[in-house]
């Protein structure tokens, strides 16, 4: 039997897989979803929620958990080696786990789905260096002992299925989407919202030694712009609550470190009114504006952090192109 195989490790990758399943008209009986070792409990919980709500529960699913990862990986490859794979949807090009699937399996078409703004980095990397391997020699030997033979040939031209406005080229074929599946399942709640207006701030782990100092400057900027609003700081899963509490103690901000669902779902389901969202370059700035075009979304132009971010001008241009406004420190 021919299969369509989806490999995802994060909520956005899983959302992208659901969108790709619909766009490519993959029937449930032809699909196999692999949840490939999410990096923490918050991610696991959000993906479990999305599996049900995105109507992926009817798809055969293999969970590659940390505790039994290598045993389950070997079992998955044994299972897949007996099938012909029509389309292989990969969520993270730079993950050795995801790479093992597209190098260790036979497939007809390789399609990369979104992994946040890393998609932009992948796109440029493919044009400059091709699909460079991230699998170390040690990992190759380990995979070989598990029966995973990394002999797959990567084509000269691969496909991207993305929400970002990237252009097709001789090396990458691009198909874009605007979250039709997500919009249908999580329509924006337009009535019944009440309470003090909320302003969302989306944290990021990016910035090195300047990160915390710049977070303070960015929060101060948002507080100044919205003195009467309740500000909610959505922590990135790699940020530390105690560190932020110490850094942002002077600001009237509520820290949310373990959201039940991704921020795009929060905006849809919340009974409280969000009037704006801010961040430096979080992917959510783009996805929120694309899914909820009426929402006010702002990119904070931070020169200190911008100097450290590759393709910053291009990212800014994409934000502006979809309607995200720029505000400068």
In tens, the pLDDT along 193-252 reads 777 889 999 999 888 889 999 999 999 999 999 998 899 999 988 888 999 999 999 999
| DSSP of 29-89 | GGEEEEEE--SSHHHHHHHHHHHHHTT-TTSEEEEE-STTHHHHHHHHHHHHTTSEEEEEE
Query: Whose structure tokens read 């989407």?
Result: 177
- Res. 188: pLDDT tops 90: no
From 33, 35, 39, 135, select the one nearest 94 (Cα to Cα).
135
pLDDT band for 174, please (50, 70, 90 cuts).
very high
Let me know if 108 is exposed, middle or buried by CB neighbors in 10 A (0-12, 13-18, 19+). Answer: exposed
What is the C-alpha separation between 30 and 60, in angstroms, rounded?
9
> Poorest-confidence range of 9-23, 48-62, 122-136, 156-170?
122-136
Contact 71, 121 (CB under 8 A): no
- Res. 9: pLDDT tops 70: yes
pLDDT band for 258, please (50, 70, 90 cuts).
low
pLDDT band for 66, please (50, 70, 90 cuts).
confident
From 148, 124, 134, 59, select the one nearest 92 (Cα to Cα).
134
**Mean pLDDT, the chain, whole residue set:** 91
The gap between the terminal CA atoms of the chain, to the nearest Å, is 56
Average pLDDT of the residues in 30-40? 93
């Amino acid at each position: 039997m021919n299969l369509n195989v989806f490999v995802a490790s994060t909520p956005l990758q899983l959302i992208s897989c659901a969108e790709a399943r619909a766009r490519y008209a993959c029937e449930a009986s032809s699909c196999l979803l692999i949840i490939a070792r999410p990096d923490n409990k918050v991610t696991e919980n959000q993906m479990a929620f999305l599996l049900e709500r995105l109507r992926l529960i009817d798809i055969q699913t293999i969970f590659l958990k940390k505790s039994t990862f290598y045993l389950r990986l070997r079992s998955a490859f044994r299972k897949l080696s007996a099938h012909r794979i029509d389309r292989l949807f990969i969520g993270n090009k730079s993950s050795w786990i995801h790479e093992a699937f597209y190098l260790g399996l036979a497939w007809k078409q390789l399609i990369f789905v979104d992994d946040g703004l890393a998609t932009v980095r992948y796109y440029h990397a493919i044009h400059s260096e091709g699909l460079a391997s991230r699998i170390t020699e040690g990992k190759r030997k380990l995979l070989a002992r598990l029966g995973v033979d990394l002999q797959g040939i990567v084509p000269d031209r691969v496909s991207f299925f993305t929400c970002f406005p990237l252009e097709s080229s001789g090396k990458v074929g691009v198909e874009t989407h605007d979250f039709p599946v997500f919009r249908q399942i999580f329509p924006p709640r337009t009535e019944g919202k009440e309470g003090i207006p909320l302003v969302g701030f989306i944290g990021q782990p990016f910035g090195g030694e300047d990160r915390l100092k710049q977070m303070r400057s960015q929060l101060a900027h948002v507080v100044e712009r919205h003195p009467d609003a309740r500000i909610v700081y959505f922590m990135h899963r790699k940020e530390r609550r105690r560190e932020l509490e110490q850094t942002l103690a002077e600001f009237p901000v509520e820290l949310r470190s373990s959201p039940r669902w991704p921020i795009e779902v929060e905006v849809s389901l919340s009974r409280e009114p969000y009037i704006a969202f801010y961040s430096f370059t979080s992917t959510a700035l783009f996805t929120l504006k694309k899914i909820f075009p009426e929402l006010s979304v702002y990119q904070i132009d931070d020169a200190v952090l911008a100097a450290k971010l590759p393709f910053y001008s291009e990212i800014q241009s994409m934000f502006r192109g979809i309607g995200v406004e720029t505000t400068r420190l």
